[in-house]
Structure 1
Amino acid sequence: MRIAVTGSIATDHLMTFPGRISEQLLADKLDHVSLSLLVDDLEIRDGGVAANIAYGLARLGHRPLLVAAVGADFHDYGTRLSGLGVDTSGVHVSTTRHTARFLCTTDTDGNQLASFYTGAMAEASTIDLADVLRRHGGADLVLIGADDPTAMARHTHACRTLGIPFIADPAQQLARLTGPEIRELVDGADHLFTNEYEHELLLGKTGWTRGDVLGRVGSWITTLGEKGSRIERADEPPVEVAAVFAATVADPTGVGDAFRAGYLASLSAGADPVRCARTGSALATLALSVIGTQNYTPTPERVSELLVAAYGADAA
């Protein structure tokens, strides 16, 4: 199965605050916050949801087609991804903007404060997905990740027109999208990915019930952090899949993207949703154990070891 991954490509600036962010917030001063956190360290890493997912897929032997917009400063980043097996021929390079920036501070409880600079991602709306797929070998499945909202809508429309199954993964963009925009992105998706908070936000903003959503998508996968994930399908009871135990917790950034990469890798092999979610959990645990979103090494052998340890011998 050939998978195209659309969404953001960014440089992550990851900082660690040696305390609790919540303790720095004053309940009676939340209408006028002026807060500066002295952080212990700074890690500058390659990231962005589309690139993170493509990285995980490539590490498991796939050659995903990456479709996104970047700046001229992407050269070294792109060369590294290409060397790992990611097809970057579908990436649009801006002549005027820098690649997007993600700045994130994580405290000792894993809580985060983050900002995102759009940069070249604003030009993603100029990408003609149908043309990209025509010129670069097509795709059997397209993941539509967090990106410029116009680009997300345009990619979704292209998939419907071409009859290509697509995965709706609006993630961080749910906060700025309107109800009608979200409904347009979700309706008809083969899969829908959210985390637990986004699950409720999606329902609230669309006005849909859980049944309404399940009547419009094939499978709704909700990640639940350390509790694992939940699989929901129409006319079936929800199924919860336990997380893979994490011996080391270093950085939660990009863990959800790693889950998606593992899930898609198993999906492309014809696995059922439970097995897909288990593989996703294995990759998520590997990503959680290192700082940065593309520094874990999910070899098939290591993933199999984690699956057996967490779910039993038949899980591999």
Structure 2
Amino acid sequence: MDKALICGSFAFDNIMVFNDQFKNHILPDKVHILNVSFLVPELRREFGGCAGNIAYNLKLLGGNPLPMGAVGTDFEHYAKWMDEKGINREHVNVVDDTFTAQAFITTDMDDNQITAFHPGAMNYSHNYSVLDVSDPAVGIVAPDGREGMIQHAREFVSAGIPFIFDPGQGLPMFDGDELMKFIEQATWLTVNDYEWQLIQERTGKSQEEISAKLKALIVTKGPEGSLIYKDGEVIQIPAAKPSVLQDPTGCGDAYRAGLLYGLTNDLDWETTGRIASLMGAIKIEHQGTQNHHFKLADFKRRFKEAFGTVF
């Protein structure tokens, strides 16, 4: 089965709920001497990171994910989870004397959030090379350490491996010229509609100018579905309807796994986009980024129910 090399981050997401409102404890006229403490009786620690999430979702579909990333010495529990799910860890590299990247997210009753992010081992992703991987069919450069993203894109080109550029939350790290370099190197670009607007503003390029440099540009629009720009045409992908709206975190990674599945199985873009759309819908029905499960036969049944076709 064709391998998909997934370059990106691994992280722990520590999610805490404060059963009150931040505004009741942060005095505007005292922010210059801010010293607050929040009691958070609810705490979840989730496996996350773009490479981890994409690999998990692609494995659910029966794909062959090969994630590459840098992790810390605290990764053992996550590693055990990956082994249980049959996800290859050959290129998941432990960096001595570091922690795995992690986010600490506190949410209040108004859905306001205070987040601290520690990149940890992610900053060492450039120490590991795409060229050390044998024969991946396709790749993806997902959010990761800045130097790692630059290097891995360059190495995909050097190795002649087609790849998706997925800037995601890493987009603010790059200026317009750097983003254009990624786009010129990439085979496909995938972004949400907000990221797409930022890219156009930062590069000064239009949709037509950017699409001309790619085999396909994929723009997701949440409940409005997604658009795939290819060869001068626009393919409209409808959104699959989730049974319940639980947690949108990680939906983009699930969608990208669907894209990789379609690319590694030589599916047309209409089918690939719909698989990606359904992956996002299934993810949003569950808390966390790697807590959903399904059998491929059930996925195909739900695909037919959602779109009236089969794959």
Kindly indicate whether the alpha-carbon contact (under 8 Å) linking 1:283 and 1:298 is maintained by their aligned counterparts in 2: no
Query: Aligned ranges for residues 62-77 of structure 1 at < 5 Å?
Result: 62-77=63-78
Query: Aligned ranges for residues 112-261 of structure 1 at < 5 Å?
Result: 114-131=115-132, 136-236=133-233, 238-261=234-257
Q: Say if 1:184 and 1:112 are closer, same or farther in 2 by CA, change over 3 A.
A: farther
Whole-Å separation in 1 of the counterparts to 2:230 and 2:110: 33
Whole-Å separation in 1 of the counterparts to 2:272 and 2:111: 26
Kindly indicate whether the alpha-carbon contact (under 8 Å) linking 1:69 and 1:120 is maintained by their aligned counterparts in 2: yes
Report how many residues are paired. Answer: 310
Whole-Å separation in 1 of the counterparts to 2:129 and 2:216: 27
Kindly indicate whether the alpha-carbon contact (under 8 Å) linking 2:275 and 2:303 is maintained by their aligned counterparts in 1: yes
In structure 2, the partner of 1:95 is 96
- Offset from partner CA, 1:269-316 (integer Å, 9 cap, x none): 11111211111111111111111101111321221122112111x234
- Offset from partner CA, 1:49-106 (integer Å, 9 cap, x none): 0100001111222231111000011122112213312111111211011000023456
Q: Which amino acid aligns with 1:292?
A: G
Kindly indicate whether the alpha-carbon contact (under 8 Å) linking 1:8 and 1:48 is maintained by their aligned counterparts in 2: yes
Q: Which amino acid aligns with 1:210?
A: Q
How far off its partner does 1:38 sit?
7.2
> Structure 1: any 5+ residue segments left out of the alignment?
none
| Alignment pair present for 1:315 and 2:303 | no
* Length-normalised TM-score, structure 2: 0.89
Two-structure CA RMSD over aligned residues (Å) = 2.9
Q: Say if 1:205 and 1:17 are closer, same or farther in 2 by CA, change over 3 A.
A: farther
Kindly indicate whether the alpha-carbon contact (under 8 Å) linking 2:137 and 2:264 is maintained by their aligned counterparts in 1: no
Whole-Å separation in 2 of the counterparts to 1:110 and 1:286: 23
Q: Secondary structure at the residue paired with 1:304?
A: helix
Q: Which amino acid aligns with 2:81?
A: R
- Offset from partner CA, 1:26-55 (integer Å, 9 cap, x none): 99xx99999988767322111000100001
Kindly indicate whether the alpha-carbon contact (under 8 Å) linking 1:17 and 1:38 is maintained by their aligned counterparts in 2: yes
Kindly indicate whether the alpha-carbon contact (under 8 Å) linking 1:169 and 1:193 is maintained by their aligned counterparts in 2: yes
Whole-Å separation in 1 of the counterparts to 2:200 and 2:40: 36
In structure 1, the partner of 2:8 is 7
Q: Which amino acid aligns with 1:259?
A: Y
* Length-normalised TM-score, structure 1: 0.88
> Structure 2: any 5+ residue segments left out of the alignment?
none
Segment drifting more, 1-10 vs 182-191: 182-191
Segment drifting more, 258-267 vs 190-199: 258-267
Q: Say if 1:170 and 1:138 are closer, same or farther in 2 by CA, change over 3 A.
A: same
Whole-Å separation in 2 of the counterparts to 1:162 and 1:15: 43
Q: Say if 1:32 and 1:278 are closer, same or farther in 2 by CA, change over 3 A.
A: farther
State the identity as a percent: 31
How far off its partner does 1:261 sit?
0.9
Q: Which amino acid aligns with 1:156?
A: A
Whole-Å separation in 1 of the counterparts to 2:304 and 2:296: 12
Kindly indicate whether the alpha-carbon contact (under 8 Å) linking 1:167 and 1:189 is maintained by their aligned counterparts in 2: yes
Kindly indicate whether the alpha-carbon contact (under 8 Å) linking 1:69 and 1:123 is maintained by their aligned counterparts in 2: yes
Segment drifting more, 80-89 vs 212-221: 80-89
